[in-house]
Amino acid sequence: MLTLVASFAMQSNVILASDSETIGIVSRLVMKFDELKHYAAACKDSSVNIAAIEQKVNQQILNKTGMTFNELHQQMLDDSADFEMVIQDLKAQPCPEGFSSSDLQMAESSLQTTLERLTEAEVLSSVQQSQEEPEQAVKVSETKAQDQAYQHANSVVLGQLIAYEQIPARYRNTFVPESAKARYVYYLEKGWKGIAPRYAIAAEYAFGTNSSIPSDEMLNTKFLFYVNKDNVITEVVPVKDAKKLLKRLGEPHWYWAGGDLIRNKK
């Protein structure tokens, strides 16, 4: 089944708390439609009327936000480095092995459900451009600290926390042996500077160390991991707090594809 998960926060705007449900539905709709369009094109499948769906999506987003789909999509790209990277990853995905039209139709059905929820949601009551943030000096200081951490790290890696069972079975013993008894691991997808392993044990969630379960936010958030020369994670920063650094870093120097390490050409 086709799935796409990403976070979205309209951080350049002031939005009333009562609007949070509408914002959540709109962002999910945008991501689901991006996914549907991509796989319809990648798999050369015409069983779903993309043009008709696009018209409905655009109209409902305009009704609820006052922006067209393209305007909102661009704002999401501008405001969320996490969303930007998810879209880049999606564009690189080929047609899935074993794909059938029923997969696309299931994705369409999920999108239609989200579209119905948006139809019933409240119109955004206030979307106003924010004034100069008083915390600007603090943000500049945080950016400098991230730059310094980058300079001292052996690797800076984009990834997320996942359950051990999410590691494909054929890679488990290679990357994280069963004897490690890891309940959760850090999935290190791609990065800059030195090479980091594909997976790193999340010691705080290893068997016998901590019986707690990570929050949904922890499991659905992308992070930047600062890794030392011994492949130990020394610092974890949510991607949403490192957008400026990520934009300056540009294309990753390397990434993992299945069990293979791919180095980007410079």
Q: What is the pLDDT of residues 66-108, one digit of tens each?
A: 888 888 888 888 777 777 888 888 888 898 888 888 888 888 9
C-beta separation of 181 from 208 below 8 A = yes
The pLDDT value recorded for residue 156 is 92
Please say if the pLDDT value at position 112 is more than 50. yes
What average pLDDT does the segment 117-123 reach?
A: 85
The pLDDT value recorded for residue 240 is 85
DSSP bridge pairs for 257? 260
Whole-number CA gyration radius for the chain: 20
In the predicted model, what is the mean pLDDT of the chain? 78
The pLDDT value recorded for residue 8 is 34
Class for the domain spanning 136-263: mainly beta
C-beta separation of 35 from 107 below 8 A = yes
Q: Which tokens is 50 given? A: 């993309």
Domain with CATH 2.40.50 in the chain: 136-263
pLDDT band, residue 14 (cuts 50/70/90): very low
Q: What is the dihedral of CA 231, 232, 234, 236, to 10 degrees?
A: 80
Cα distance between residue 59 and residue 57, in whole Å:
6
What does the DSSP assignment read for 167-185? S-HHHHHHHS-GGG-BSEE
Amino acid identity at 164: Y
pLDDT band, residue 12 (cuts 50/70/90): very low
The pLDDT value recorded for residue 36 is 92
* 3-state SS record for 186-211: EEEEEEEECCCCCEEECHHHECCCCC
Q: State pTM to two decimals.
A: 0.46
H or E segment at 13? strand 13-15
SS3 of residue 4 by DSSP: coil
H or E segment at 161? strand 155-163
In tens, the pLDDT along 196-230 reads 888 888 877 765 544 567 888 888 889 998 888 88
Cα 186 from chain centre: 15
DSSP bridge pairs for 227? 155, 233
The pLDDT value recorded for residue 37 is 92
Please say if the pLDDT value at position 5 is more than 50. no
Of 155, 142, 159, which Cα lies nearest the Cα of 221? 159
In tens, the pLDDT along 226-240 reads 888 888 888 888 888
pLDDT band, residue 19 (cuts 50/70/90): low
Q: Higher pLDDT residue, 265 or 243?
A: 243
pLDDT band, residue 134 (cuts 50/70/90): very low
Cα distance between residue 188 and residue 216, in whole Å:
19
